[in-house]
Amino acid sequence: MPADRIRVEVEDRALELSNLDKVLYPEAGFTKGEVIDYYTRVAPVLLPHLRDRPLTRIRYPNGVDGPFFFEKNAPASTPDWVRLERLPAPGSSKGREMLDYVVADDLPTLVWLANLAALELHTPQWRVGEHPDMLVVDLDPGAPAGLPECCGVAIRMRDRLAEDGIASYPKTSGKKGMQLCCPIAGGQPAEVVSAYAKRVAEELERAEPKGITSKMAKRLRPGKVFIDWSQNSAAKTTVTPYSLRAQASPTVSTPLTWAEVEAAVSTRRRRPVRQCTAAEALARVEKHGDLMADLLAGGPEVPT
């Protein structure tokens, strides 16, 4: 076996890992071995959010400064023990009607993906064979707006959704914005969920037009927070909680407490929210556990 490859057993699955010293985050000196270590350690809280969801990966074989590619279809070298689901692929760039998606239900699959430099893990709002069980809104700040402004909009969105009995759980995007994830009943089609999210976004825009936009045109976003309700389309995916992001440092889409979000906009005791690194995310899991565990318990139907 080449010197840059090692064989390991992960939960009785044999895996061959390669190039563990390869630096994937040059500015931070963060290696592929450290990526694998992060995903192994965060797996207990990450895997429940991946379970039964077809996975889109963004792979960076030469690191975050090099070329990357989105991967939906399972690669030819996929081990026979990896769970695959053949599903429709709306909007496939290669014109395929059906693709074999990887479903990462276990630690060996997660380690195998990390070894392929699949840094970012993105999942839809639905599980295989089901309607959406989650409503997601992406809060995207247009400069000079930033995370503090996103936190303010997140609180408004939380309070508005609560009026309809819908709970929401905040997380950073790992890039510049944040997302709210909301458990809902799984009996309604994506079009119904998306239409509801759009109505709420437009309502908040009417209430605060100087700071919020529900429209996708980028020319309308400077200084505002764009509430991206379109994340609820059946063809869309959102970065999964605890996924790494391909930034200069190994940031993570990190669940937050509402107390942290509120403190970020407090005029009396302001404590800024920021994007967390892998080490910080692991420390938070050690302290809080999975702040989004209740997201998996289900919720009400959205109003129609």
Asked whether residue 246 is domain-assigned, the answer is no
Looking at the fold, whether 34 and 55 belong to one and the same domain comes out as yes
* The pLDDT value given to residue 217: 87
Looking at the fold, whether 93 and 228 belong to one and the same domain comes out as no
Using an 8 Å Cβ cutoff, are 188 and 132 in contact?
Answer: yes
> Among the three residues 123, 158, 186, which one is the final residue of a domain in this structure?
123
* The pLDDT value given to residue 220: 84
How many C-beta neighbours within 10 Å does residue 267 have?
5
> Among the three residues 101, 123, 145, which one is the final residue of a domain in this structure?
123
Looking at the fold, whether 164 and 110 belong to one and the same domain comes out as no
* The pLDDT value given to residue 91: 56
* The pLDDT value given to residue 95: 53
**Domain range enclosing 177:** 134-237+251-297
Asked whether residue 304 is domain-assigned, the answer is no
* The pLDDT value given to residue 30: 98
Looking at the fold, whether 74 and 205 belong to one and the same domain comes out as no
15 forms beta bridges with 8
* The pLDDT value given to residue 272: 85
Using an 8 Å Cβ cutoff, are 135 and 151 in contact?
Answer: no
Asked whether residue 129 is domain-assigned, the answer is no
210 forms beta bridges with none
Looking at the fold, whether 212 and 95 belong to one and the same domain comes out as no
Provide the domain count of the chain: 2
Q: How far apart are CA 170 and CA 167, in angstroms?
A: 10
pTM: 0.95
Query: Mean pLDDT of successive 10-residue segments in the chain (304 residues)?
Result: 83 96 98 98 98 98 97 96 91 69 98 98 96 97 95 98 98 97 96 98 97 91 96 95 98 97 84 93 98 95 96
Q: How far apart are CA 215 and CA 201, in angstroms?
A: 9
